[in-house]
Amino acid sequence: MLKFDDFKLDKCADGLLPVIVQDAVTLKVLMLGYMNREAFDKSMAEGRVTFFSRTRNTLWTKGETSGHYLNIVSVYADCDSDTLLVKANPIGPTCHRGTTSCFDTPEDEGFIRRLQSVVQQRHRDMPEGSYTTKLFIKGVKKIAQKVGEEAVESVVEAVDGNRDRFIYEASDMIYHLLVLMEQMGCSIEDMERELALRHR
């Protein structure tokens, strides 16, 4: 468990800890803020990101007026122990402009991970009328069949040299593969761990 005293802030402006907030699902960088000891302790105790506002000279819990909280998933100190990385689940847009991030990176960045979370939610809730729900009801054989069909269609388009059609069919394959992975109780993170082991 990180403590505020673990950080070396003698070279930081006003002794404040710079904090980078990242979406725990998409890994998209959401914003940069600063914490003093009180803001850090409040964040760790409540599980929601609280900053120290340099302009207002007071604590500021992100979302206290908008409802767009940043719920903490995990925290990491950097190698110099003078910056904090917070992985969080954002409730709504993070930026005051109404955008996902305060940085103007592409909105579809990290979308496959976002889609995975939607698939997981569909599996939990099984909403009526959802195509994903229908796949889960039909079971693993039907889902696997769909992955196979889309894989074949992707291969056909690749062999024919049709880039746009390949992207379309490969996207269908990825979606159905995410559904199959959820059905099998695994995730993108499991695949990343397996690939990392092979890379070593």
Query: Taking phi first (over 0 means left), then psi (-120 to 50 degrees means alpha), and beta for anything else, what does residue 129 get?
Result: left
HEC readout, 102-129: CCCCCCCCCHHHHHHHHHHHHHHHCCCC
Domains delineated in the chain: 4-90 (3.10.20.810), 111-199 (1.10.287.1080)
Residue position matching structure tokens 């725990």: 24
Q: Would you state the pLDDT for residue 11?
A: 72
The string of pLDDT tens digits covering residues 103-143 is: 998 877 789 998 999 999 999 999 999 999 999 999 999 99
Kindly report the pTM of this predicted structure. 0.76
Structure tokens at 3: 């403590």
**Which residues in the chain come in under a pLDDT of 50?**
none
Q: Would you state the pLDDT for residue 108?
A: 79
Measured between alpha carbons, how far apart are the two ends of the chain, in Å? Answer: 29
d(CA 13, CA 32): 14
Q: Would you state the pLDDT for residue 9?
A: 83
